[in-house]
Structure 1
Amino acid sequence: MKFSGIHHVAIICSNYHCSKKFYVDILGLEVIQETFRHERESYKLDLRINDNTQIELFSFPHPPQRVSEPEACGLRHLAFCVENIEEAVAYLKLSNVEIENIRIDEITGKKFTFFKDPDNLPLEIYEA
């Protein structure tokens, strides 16, 4: 078996409308399809990152809080590639997103930094 890439990453949010605004209006992801599932009282929003990768944004009534600090087992963070990290940081700051200082990956020498979504999910931008 050989993987050809990552199809999607699923994220459960606590406030659907707030998270939709963040991922669509601030991060600029394209809406593929939005579905409200009445039996679950749940939204599922498919968002396009590029031709091959998507985010599935879910809402559920009363989801448990994510354990994130100190670091817990499981998915650590989601990283997005950018061509120019300084431009990406400036854009996020203009959108009132709190963002850490740019650092250098000691192994690859590439620039990266972290910020959080409305539910404090750690997100990274990494200069490709």
Structure 2
Amino acid sequence: MLKINKIHHIAIICSDYKRSKDFYTEILGLKIIREVYRAERDSYKLDLALNDGYAIELFSFPDTPQRLTRPEAQGLRHLAFEVDDIKNTRELLVNQNIDCEEIRIDETTQKQFFFCSDPDNLPIEFYES
């Protein structure tokens, strides 16, 4: 059987590189590992870390198609982050002018969670630990 250790990274293509870079670094607090501009592709690649672990590759490409529907489109459904204090997390995001859903309860685990969106409308979930 195949042995997988962990998820290595999640790749996201954004429509506005600066706006998405600011969202993931300034609002969510991910740390920049490396930023590369690839002139031949007119593309940025930003490697981001969460708690010193490689987490997200943020890409920019010219003229990428938009996501057709939300959230049940094929492909990545949402990105989820575990947090210790769900209410404080939501409050901090709302104070940064991020539109957040109300906190809900997962019927299976009884844990609290809520969704917001990144600058390209990718659903982001925050889930209590």
Query: TM-score, with normalisation over the residues of structure 2?
Result: 0.95
Gaps of 5+ in 1: none
May I ask how many residue pairs the two structures share in their alignment? 128
* Superposed displacement of residue 70, structure 1: 6.2
| 1:97 aligned partner | 98
Alignment match, 1:27: 28
Match of 1:85 in 2: 86
RMSD of aligned alpha carbons: 1.1
Letter aligned with residue 87 of structure 1: N
One-letter amino acid of the counterpart of residue 126, structure 2: I
Taking structure 1 as reference, are residues 87 and 36 closer, same or farther at Cα in structure 2, changes over 3 Å only?
same
Residue 15 of structure 2 aligns with an amino acid whose one-letter code is S
Q: How many Å separate the matches in 2 of 1:76 and 1:70?
A: 6
Aligned to 1:112: 113
| Cα 1:47–1:35 shift into 2, 3 Å | same
Query: Post-superposition shift, 1:112?
Result: 0.4
Match of 2:60 in 1: 59
Change (3 A) 1:118 1:70: closer
Residues 87-114 of structure 1, C-alpha deviation per residue, up to 9 Å, x if partnerless?
Answer: 1001101111000000000000100000
> Once superposed, which parts of structure 1, at least 4 consecutive aligned residues long, lie more than 6 Å away?
none
Instruction: Give the CA deviation at 1:49.
Output: 1.4
* 1:13 lines up with 2:35 in the alignment: no
TM-score (normalizing by structure 1): 0.95
**2:126: which partner in 1?**
125
Q: Could you report, residue by residue, the CA deviation over 1:17-40 in whole angstroms, capped at 9, with x for unpaired residues?
A: 000011000110000000000000
Q: Determine the C-alpha separation between the residues in 2 that align with 1:27 and 1:70.
A: 21
The percent of aligned pairs where both chains have the same amino acid is 58
Q: Give the superposition deviation at 1:73.
A: 2.2
- Whole-Å separation in 1 of the counterparts to 2:106 and 2:24: 25
How big is the shift at 1:69? Answer: 2.7
